[in-house]
Structure 1
Amino acid sequence: MTPKRLIAIASLNQFCHWFMIGLFFPVMTLLLLERGLTLFQIGAIVAVYSSTVILLELPTGGLADAIGRKRVYLISLVALFAAGLGMLIAWNFVTMMIVFFFMGMARALSSGSLDAWFVDEFQRIHPEGNLQPALARIGVFIPLGLGLGALIGGILPMTLGTVTRQIPGLTKYSGNLITITLCLIVHFFLTLRLVQEHLPETSKSVKFFEGFQQLPVVLTTSIQYGVKHPTISLLLGSAIGWGIGVSGLELLWQPQVKMLLGSDAQTWIFGVLSAGYFLASAAGNLSANPICRIFHHDYPRILLVTRLLMGIGVFLLALQQHLAGFMPVYWGLFVFNGLSNSPNAAIFNAHIPKEQRSTLLSFQSFVEQSGGLIGALCMGYISEHISIPIAWFFAAEILVLSGLAYVFLPGQKRK
């Protein structure tokens, strides 16, 4: 397999995966509100999701290192399929908590699996290649998939939703869930066919349940490595602050826009905002390579500036009183978020060993989700009892403080 084909397969996989997530993104909070949940209950449900990811993140990452990344990713698609079907029939706070548990399980299983597969395959077929530009190219397709999915997801309640709302027990948002479950079936078989993994002999012979027996050793050695490594530990510290700050945006932007509009009748606006957000992230990923060249691949300096600009963006977003001002600020701050993805990933992957890659990538996601859990609870409480803008002021401060970790990173220069 050539590097170009590998990048193409990884890009297609990421595009399809995040397209399905995008179908749900612009209506998630609206769907939960329509089910009668309060903002604090929604924050609690997001906390259940984050807690599930936190509890399963490291074991599933270790499992991927033990039995293979492709196997674990396919299991994640099955879990996501179960969550989609469950959400169609969930009727109250408790049943929604169960659904979001399965969503968290799917997220934990998928995290660090095919990402690690790509890095290992890239380094196997192109040992001297620069990983950052390859990751940046693939990274473009993640927000593109999310953006297209979000755009369609905003239109579905006004089209297919007019049919599903006539069916007892379903709502105008059920069309989004039906579309996601159908796409999951197609994506499962595409992954089965296209993704070819070169497993070490030890992993080839390991069966699913035998993989769990290897977890204690895999997890212990990986966590010790991550905590003790000076660069990795700084990146993990910054990741938890990112999780706290961004969770406030993901949780509260929809009710804030609903308040600015006066209703949620025009769901296409939520789709456009979501699509713009993801396209802005794609623009950030596209600009990463030229900007990295301009700064001579000084990744820590790039990451510091982008994180500070994100914090400023969230602060400005909290001040907006009209949709016309909200949209460009909302999109703009995610340009900086997209720009930071590949430099951060390049530093992280450069300092972790191949045999622990899935576990340590899952450890990074574990830390981000821990921040997301803290952020969801804090932002949900603050928005419920004070206001959404005050919650965002708090998120902006956390993002700025998290960026200071990059000051202490050693220079990461690439030719």
Structure 2
Amino acid sequence: MKGPLDIPTARRRYVTVCALFWLPLGLSIAPLILLLTERGMTTAAIAGLFAAHSLTAAALELPTGGLADVLGRRVVLVAAGLLNLTALALVGLGSAPWLLGLGMVLMGAGRALSSGPAEAWYVDTVHADSGPGADLRTGLAAGSSATSAVLAAGTLLGGALPWLLGLGPDLGARLSEASSGLVLPLSVPLLLGSAVEIAFVLYVLTALPEPPRAPVALRDVLRGIPATVVGGLRLGGRDTLVRRVFLSAGAVGSALVTIELLMPGRAAAVTGASESGAVLFAALACAGFICSGLGSRFAPLTGRLAGSGERAVMVSLGVGAGGLLLLGATAGATGAGALVLSAIGYGLLYLGLGVAGPNENDILHRRVASTGRATGLSVQSLVMQLVGALIGLVVGVLRPGPVPWLLGGCVLLAGALLWLRRSEPASPSPVARPQPPVACPSPASQDATARS
């Protein structure tokens, strides 16, 4: 029987999985809202579709994290890929509201399934090869950088494809006519993303080996999920650092939703038209992903220079909060100087978030045992989505101007201030998981060691 993968190979495969999974999302960022509008959906209906996606992802975060800890990382990742493949095809081809709604719900389910297993697989593999003291930040940073890079490239490609298809004489019309109206130029990036999901599923099946797990009946899995969920919720209650990681995730969610809600309108106001504003927003989103990727690459260096991962998180979140507050300070200003300061603030926000992510997750992996690794990541994602949704509702009802921006900046600054006090080291916190009725624990379940 082959031994565990060496660290460079595991890192390379983890980076590839991150890239293949997030490229389809990047392809859909620019055309999605325009496609839904082209299908006849109103703004309120589109908001409802996005709410269905977010609520589905939030509702399934902890149960699906528990599934990854019980059934294995690979099978859950494959399920996520298949759900996203179906979702992108439905949204790309569907015209009926119920089909579009089903697609967004499936996309939310895929997002929930994917929010921990790949990273948990990488950490498990590194620990199996080199023990719990092995460096994780380098691999986590590489995965974050790859995610940012493919999101940036996908955003540009997804925005350019429909425009390029429209350059030919009546090409878009002929494409729509040949497919009986199912395929519009705006549909093409989503369908391309669906094809990428096929490659993702095949790669996961062939490139992510796992130690054998004892067979578990479906009823035992379902019966054990509540205990895993409760254990995940207790993680933050008994470990100060884990609680700070979760609360910081909520602060990051508030910052991201502030940008997502306010930046498109601000870009349109700068250019004077919604169409050109959409192009500017796509360029800004690409620049943001690049800054986030650069931040992720510098995450290990920042941790070393700051003296600890905790201080690195505090500094990087503070930088991000400064960027968002700068955007708020220039919200009502005009002129070239204000635009330059706004661009600097936008870059600082994403740079700070990029540095913070790998350092936060490094802390989380050191504090949570292997049996709860994916569950802990799911709790982190759940808090980010729920706090982001709450702040988004508040931002949405505030009058346009500096105040909504400043609200998001202040919440992110509060997340940075959580890390002012250092915590005493503690042993990793396990998460209760259902045990199979027969057989001995798998090798992975024996690894109740500290996170790197």
What's the TM-score once normalised by structure 1's chain length? 0.89
Q: 1:288 aligns with which of 293, 299, 305?
A: 299
Counterpart CA distance in 1 for 2:35 and 2:301 is 40
Deviation at 1:25?
A: 1.9
Counterpart CA distance in 1 for 2:154 and 2:315 is 30
* Greater Cα shift, 218-227 or 359-368: 218-227
Ranked by relative contact order (alpha carbons within 8 Å, sequence separation 6 or more), the top structure is 1
| 1:186-201 alignment runs, 5 A limit | 186-199=199-212, 201=213
Match of 2:92 in 1: 88
Match of 2:229 in 1: 219
Kindly indicate whether the alpha-carbon contact (under 8 Å) linking 1:155 and 1:268 is maintained by their aligned counterparts in 2: no
Deviation at 1:256?
A: 2.6
> Which protein has the larger Cα radius of gyration, Structure 1 or Structure 2?
2
Match of 1:151 in 2: 156
Q: Deviations over 1:21-41 (max 9, x none)?
A: 111123344444555656565
Deviation at 1:262?
A: 2.3
Q: 2:287 aligns with which of 262, 276, 286?
A: 276
Instruction: Give the gaps of 5 or more residues in structure 2.
Output: 426-450
Structure 1 residue 117 and structure 2 residue 121: aligned?
Answer: yes
Note the aligned Cα RMSD (angstroms). Answer: 2.7
1:280 maps to amino acid: C
- The 3-state SS of whatever aligns with 1:24 is helix
Kindly indicate whether the alpha-carbon contact (under 8 Å) linking 2:81 and 2:197 is maintained by their aligned counterparts in 1: yes
Counterpart CA distance in 2 for 1:408 and 1:40 is 44
2:162 maps to amino acid: P
1:48 maps to amino acid: A
Counterpart CA distance in 2 for 1:271 and 1:327 is 14
Match of 1:173 in 2: 186
Counterpart CA distance in 2 for 1:286 and 1:212 is 39
Structure 1 residue 309 and structure 2 residue 322: aligned?
Answer: no
- The number of equivalent residue pairs is 408
| 1:216-255 alignment runs, 5 A limit | 216-255=226-265
Q: Deviations over 1:378-399 (max 9, x none)?
A: 33333xxx22654222211221
Q: Residue 34 and residue 67 in structure 1: after superposition, are their counterparts in 2 closer, same or farther (change >3 A)?
A: same
**Which is richer in helix?**
1
Kindly indicate whether the alpha-carbon contact (under 8 Å) linking 1:252 and 1:388 is maintained by their aligned counterparts in 2: no
What's the TM-score once normalised by structure 2's chain length? 0.82
Counterpart CA distance in 2 for 1:372 and 1:42 is 18
Q: Residue 322 and residue 355 in structure 1: after superposition, are their counterparts in 2 closer, same or farther (change >3 A)?
A: farther
Match of 2:405 in 1: 392
Q: Deviations over 1:161-209 (max 9, x none)?
A: 564455125544212112111111122112211111224x33xx12556
Counterpart CA distance in 1 for 2:72 and 2:385 is 23
Match of 2:386 in 1: 370
| Structure 1 segments (4+ residues) deviating >6 Å | none
The percentage of aligned residue pairs carrying the same residue is 24
Structure 1 residue 18 and structure 2 residue 22: aligned?
Answer: yes
Structure 1 residue 137 and structure 2 residue 147: aligned?
Answer: no
Q: Residue 97 and residue 308 in structure 1: after superposition, are their counterparts in 2 closer, same or farther (change >3 A)?
A: farther
Kindly indicate whether the alpha-carbon contact (under 8 Å) linking 1:300 and 1:410 is maintained by their aligned counterparts in 2: no
Kindly indicate whether the alpha-carbon contact (under 8 Å) linking 2:69 and 2:371 is maintained by their aligned counterparts in 1: yes
Kindly indicate whether the alpha-carbon contact (under 8 Å) linking 2:318 and 2:352 is maintained by their aligned counterparts in 1: no
Instruction: Give the gaps of 5 or more residues in structure 1.
Output: none
Q: 1:58 aligns with which of 49, 62, 81?
A: 62
Q: Deviations over 1:216-269 (max 9, x none)?
A: 222223322332222212221222222122112123322331232223445654
Q: Residue 264 and residue 189 in structure 1: after superposition, are their counterparts in 2 closer, same or farther (change >3 A)?
A: farther
Structure 1 residue 406 and structure 2 residue 419: aligned?
Answer: yes
Kindly indicate whether the alpha-carbon contact (under 8 Å) linking 2:252 and 2:353 is maintained by their aligned counterparts in 1: no
Q: Residue 97 and residue 116 in structure 1: after superposition, are their counterparts in 2 closer, same or farther (change >3 A)?
A: same
Counterpart CA distance in 2 for 1:211 and 1:94 is 31
